[in-house]
Amino acid sequence: MPASPRFRFRFAVACALLISAHCAAAWQIGNRVIIEHGALTVDHGRSVKQITAAQARGGFKADHGVGLFQNRIKTELAFAEVSPSGKRLFATTKITTAPVIYIASELPSESCAYKLVLAHELKHQDYDLEVLRAMPDEIRRFSHDVFDTDDIDRTGALNQTRARNRFFQQFNFVYQSLGDMRHPVIDSPESYRHLGSLCNGELAKYLPTPATGKAVAKRGK
Ligand SMILES: [Zn+2]
């Protein structure tokens, strides 16, 4: 006995739903993110000249060499399960941090300028912690893009080298971008001018006079 048209319609709808659900969730992808926060170190042993040089080597923008916040981040990616037949890919990401604040040795401990620079660099650390708190969700989201499941379906295996390269490229891009949305808030010429006006101008002698033309030229590099 042929199925009633109504039944057939229902069956067709159910199939379509199943197929789309199956296609969208064909691969189960997971990434467990563990963050191990290292204790903050305050390094008061480097000169303005050394801190300025450290800025040139990378890390966060130095505040004209009087202070610098740097977080040395180690990220490890491990594939816990890659099952082409079961369409399951599970990874673990471990982020280990080592935050350091440099304060120029020219600024005496307990001085107003020292405290001012420390407070400023601690604000950079706050921004960095905000970024790190956002990273697990970001990592889970971009894991769906960077692990090429179409390629696994085609070849039957995960190309780990390529997966790692794409993962770390995206990790660095996202970490950098989220930081770029925050740190410049306190690293503006206005902010430096304000810092220079505090502590009876104690800090001002280490800060360059803000020159708009110069700042623009620098940004262009
Ligand atoms: Zn700053």
Ligand 1 center from residue 2 Cα (angstroms): 76
CB neighbour list of residue 153: distance below 8 Å, 6 or more residues apart = 84
- The reported pLDDT for the residue numbered 63 is 59
Question: CA–CA separation, 42 vs 119, rounded Å?
Answer: 12
* DSSP character at residue 32: E
Ligand 1 center from residue 59 Cα (angstroms): 12
In this prediction the pTM is: 0.79
Question: CA–CA separation, 134 vs 120, rounded Å?
Answer: 22
Ligand 1 center from residue 3 Cα (angstroms): 73
Using an 8 Å Cβ cutoff, are 167 and 190 in contact?
Answer: no
Amino acid sitting at position 197 = S
Query: Whole-number mean pLDDT of the chain?
Result: 84
From residue 74, give the alpha-carbon distance in Å to each of 49, 95, 147, 172, 174.
27, 6, 21, 11, 15
Ligand 1 center from residue 32 Cα (angstroms): 32
Higher pLDDT, 174 or 199: 174
Question: CA–CA separation, 128 vs 61, rounded Å?
Answer: 13
Ligand 1 center from residue 74 Cα (angstroms): 23
Whether the predicted pLDDT of 134 surpasses 90: yes
Runs of H (alpha helix) within the chain:
5-24, 48-56, 112-146, 149-155, 160-180, 189-197, 212-220
- Partnered with residue 42 across adjacent β-strands are 101
Among 91, 175, 183, residue whose Cα is nearest residue 138 = 175
Ligand 1 center from residue 63 Cα (angstroms): 5
Using an 8 Å Cβ cutoff, are 88 and 143 in contact?
Answer: no
Ligand 1 center from residue 38 Cα (angstroms): 21
Ligand 1 center from residue 48 Cα (angstroms): 14
Pairing assessment for the beta strands 41-43 and 28-36 based on DSSP bridges: unpaired
Tell me the pLDDT tens digit for each residue of 176-220: 999 999 998 998 888 888 888 889 888 877 765 544 433 333 333
Ligand 1 center from residue 185 Cα (angstroms): 9
Ligand 1 center from residue 145 Cα (angstroms): 33
- Partnered with residue 100 across adjacent β-strands are 41, 70
- The reported pLDDT for the residue numbered 52 is 84
- The reported pLDDT for the residue numbered 58 is 66
Tell me the pLDDT tens digit for each residue of 97-107: 999 999 999 99
Question: CA–CA separation, 167 vs 147, rounded Å?
Answer: 8
Ligand 1 center from residue 118 Cα (angstroms): 10
Whether the predicted pLDDT of 44 surpasses 70: yes
Domain regions of the chain by residue span: 26-220
Amino acid sitting at position 166 = R
Ligand 1 center from residue 34 Cα (angstroms): 28
Among 135, 31, 36, residue whose Cα is nearest residue 79 = 31
